Chains A and B, each alone.
Chain A
Amino acid sequence: MATPTYNLIASQTVGSGGAASVTFSSIPNTYTDLLVKFSARSNYNNNPEIAVLSFNGSSSSFTNKDIFGTGSSAVSQTNSASGVFSEGNNWTANTFGSSEFYIPNYTSSNYKSISAEGVSENNGTGGYQELNAVLWSNTAAITSIGISTQNGTGWLQYSTFYLYGIKNS
């Protein structure tokens, strides 16, 4: 019988004073896929925040196509960055956005395809939800993952980030 897999590689919880960004480095190349899940809130005085992905220290060569809903309308956009919705700091206190990046075959020598989802919620009076298809046009194996805030305000205390490795055998 196969061995269960879906292993926590590393986690980070933002402490008092916040963090400009979060980075998982020295990622082992022994898994098949990677999954980053995070519950986060930024210091951005607006909503939603955009959690920006970087690989191997670079946030270039990303493109994405998304769809998001606001509760009253939907929009689809093409972007040259790799963002997914998270929570800003002017909505309900103590509320954190929920987001994830799924990264299959992260050690391959092909371009990397990423599936992303994120939500931001404001006490039932407003919210955003997003589905996103992301492409990183780079053939390098992914050895580090950074997650920063698009508006540069950084992550607030109690934001949590988890990196999981998933094996296919």
Chain B
Amino acid sequence: MHEPDQDLTKLGLPELAAHHEEAPSKPGNTIFDTQNVSIYYGSFKAVTDVSLSIYENEITAFIGPSGCGKTTVLRTLNRMNDLIPTARVEGNVTYRGEALYAPAVSATAVRRHIGMVFQKPNPFPKSIYDNVAYGPRINGERKKARLDEIVERSLRHAALWEEVKDRLSKSGLSLSGGQAQRLCIARTLAVEPDVILMDEPCSALDPIATGRIEDLMHEIKSQYTIVIVTHNMQQAARVSDRTAFYSVLRDEKSDVRTGTLVEYDLTENIFANPRDPRTQAYVTGRVGLGSTRLAA
């Protein structure tokens, strides 16, 4: 069991300390801005009242217990929730100042700027080469030489090139879990998005593969803005500049659970000096108290 006053180094704070200098004191351009965003599935309100800003060339982590809506919020940022017929978003979401849910905005165009890496690696049942070339091809790139260049650059960027350069024509399904996830990252990098959303990208991977992906995130953050959902608080502490803590509000009578944003701040503040007692309870591991107490 966790002691309430446990050693904070166990939460990855040494890394956090090392990481501290990188954390910008002044945020860059605002990439996403959400105001009072609520997300419904049919009549069920899954997430309520989320307001936060995500900044350029930063890694923003979403943490919180299961069912708190972190993934749902992430998927509203590139309109993946559009694929669920009953999903509905209320409130304002802007991307570089443009309203994401304005009627004239095409979800397809949005997703070309805002890529996504999923929890479970999902390479297409095509060759490794075709997996990476898929995005450029649907964007109209036909020249073989140009595609070769994009494939190599993306795979190198995703730290996978050395492992697969001799078998680019093999199926993407032949890769191990960690390699497959890096392939999915390479596939996302190939379309040169502005933002990369990552939905628990390491939850199916071992610690070594996780480490590689975290290193990769650090390498690419100078060119991309990254938003990552994670269940792993050490990971949030290690990789992110800012952290948003989500929690569950439970209605005592109906037992309806709705996710909400509790606290959003620089990562070191969230872990070392949280303002909200719910955040403190979560990051120190005192979550066995149950979501009722947490939501109180």
Q: Do A and B bind each other?
A: no
